[in-house]
Chains A and B, each alone.
Chain A
Amino acid sequence: MSVLVQPQPEVAAPNPLQDSLRFERRVPPCAIVIFGASGDLSKRKLLPALYRLFYERRIPPSFAIVGSSRTPMSDDQFRERMKESVAKFLEDAPFDEDVWTSFAQSLFYVPGDLNKPDSYDDIRNKLDELEKTHQTAGNVLFYLSTQPSYYAEAVLALGEHGLNRGNGWRRVIIEKPFGHDLTSARKLNEEIHKVFDESQVYRIDHYLGKETVQNILAFRFGNGIFEPLWNRRYIDHVQITAAESIGVEGRGGYYQEAGALRDMIQNHLSQVMATIAMEPPTVFDADNVRDERAKLLRAVRIMKPEDVPKYAVAGQYGPAKVGGQEMPGFREESSVDPNAQTDTYAAVTFFIDNWRWADVPFYIRTGKRMPKRVTDIAIQYQAPPLGLFMQETKGGLREVRPNLLVLRIQPEEGISLRFLSKSPGSGMRVRPVSMDFNYGSSFGERTPTAYETLLLDAMAGDPTLYTRQDMVDASWQIVQPILDVWAHTNFDFPNYPAGSWGPKQADEMLARQGHVWRIP
């Protein structure tokens, strides 16, 4: 594999006047080129995030955004379209007409086809022009928000047209999915490294940009009381749930090829698991944090093909009536093959073969058309060694349920700790109560969206929350055996009705370990 090493930008000497307690983090001037600018991601996430950063003066005055896609449009038409999208998709914030007018002055459009060399020349000309008119200092951040099949082609073309170098730094953000399997991910890495050094590549996993996922690190390593209990001696098992109530919502064509395991577990949820289970970094910087995440992923036990049916469950939703409304099954969704073998639900038991986690099951499940949209991580502590108390339940008395720590990622971000408390009245009966921390009520300010955080990080050259080549490689390695077995399995789909918590085989998978899925 050839790796291109490019000179790193000069590191600024400490400025004695800077005040990190009060000043916003400095982001250098730059231009952002978005390929696939007329697509859904740009409209729903990227432009609203950039507008919001501009609104909050988090991006420098010397910046420009160049959108590019096949749709022929003028700058003004692009601005008008993006204005509608930003006004519609801005999260938790009002739209300000005056701010938009000012923001739009830095918004440009270059129509082009990724297959045509002329398009790259047009982009280069525009960037040269903006370097002078908008003082972008030659710094360019490319954002590949295109069909994944174009990633390698686009990056190689950037190299051929000399767009990977210039007067300032050059970086590229690549959206998921990063490859379709282990082989294609490695091939894609190889192609990208022909043009960009690893330090210039920002593989985005928007889950890592979520405030509450970042808060896991603060919670674990900023508090002294939890880390000593964060191991196999005290933790019985971990459940990670990422449920969506919606179906494929017009993405049937894409989703049919991807499936839940690829779409969620290979990337987002394996990164969340790594964040939950990684060792403390020695220093909180990009390399150290990512080293620990990668190390953790490499410690995940790779399943043997014969173990896959025991530790992984695929599901697909069928039609059902939810809330009085008929919901179609996956196979009835538009652009979906009526015999599709796609997993719209996946549940996997992972084991991490290291000193801290040996034999502790990490159950990960994700699915579409589940009862509600929720993402959380539940750390189930072991029961006390001696059952002194009985717990009051509707069905009478039973043994106590152990402590549960829930880290809620969405929608109500926060942390809950379940513990037992004596029920009022005579007799020593206990019942579980919950101690809640709610992110929104303790930090009144609006939390930035994942894309705001990640875009700003990429502009500032901080890759801590981006996935590195070895992390991507490791996460593909842990799901590849499952994908291989599933590819040769003829599932009896659908196996769970829309609006339920998944197939019964997933319950059985946990029951074999003496566990049950919690209801989030």
Chain B
Amino acid sequence: MRDTFLKTLCDLAETDDRVVLLTGDLGFKVLDDFARRFPDRYFNVGVAEANLVTISAALAADGYRPFAYSIGNFPTLRCLEQIRMNIAYTELPVTIVSVGAGFAYGSLGISHHATDDIASMRALHTVRVVSPSDLQEVAEYTEMLLTETQPAYLRLDKDVAPDRKDVACAPDGWRVLDVGSDVALLAHGGIRREAEAAALLLRNEGVSVAVVSAPVLSLFDQKQVESCISNQRLLVSVEEHSVNGGLGSILAEAIADSGSCQKLVRMGLRRFSHEVGSQEYLRRVHRLSATHIANEVRQGLDSL
């Protein structure tokens, strides 16, 4: 996802001289192409995330379109209040980019697990939160964010689900990738791959499964989102993020707002992860693999 983002950003910077890339001293080698092609619009501010986002805000106030790049929780939680004061309240078009969503840096430990970022970012009223699940979404949303005028948070995973060129991306909506009538699996980030694998298992058992990609996690079109989940008796959210404040919470809120009586199962993290291991391993530990998802669906359907 990171490489697709940077390639897209370089292409955009070629024709749009408002694009500026700032990094908090992260992105070894991968930022070189941008830095070489646009040296006047590339800044490594050092290991200083508060300064990173506040400087980005000031550049945006002068008409630039800054992309503030770092990894994990550093450009979000570390400087949450600076984002609130200088970017969100002021409604400036800064895009905060974090590489290493969820357990992407699993073995590096808790400091590098980005599992509460969406909850924090989407609490800020003006910030558009985007968590792509495939490369097509990465490219299209990067481009879309540049055409919009609001703050944004772009969360980039290491794992990716396969592209689905047949289903369009909307700036403020979700994508129904597969239609089904028994259950809808909704996911954001690369873990959508696990949801799709679970859907395959279930279809082999005769279950009719819808799969929805939910890359836009704030400021979405409420009606469009409701249309993605209506007519489903069972909704299952799958995300490599805390169950508090992520997609699961969004669905709970949507159900409450619409007054429907759908059953919702929220799959995500219910505690911090002290275990050491790869993204795939930690997914299994936290019961987020395809097998676990399929099991949850079976139990959910049984309980209806």
A, B from the same assembly: no
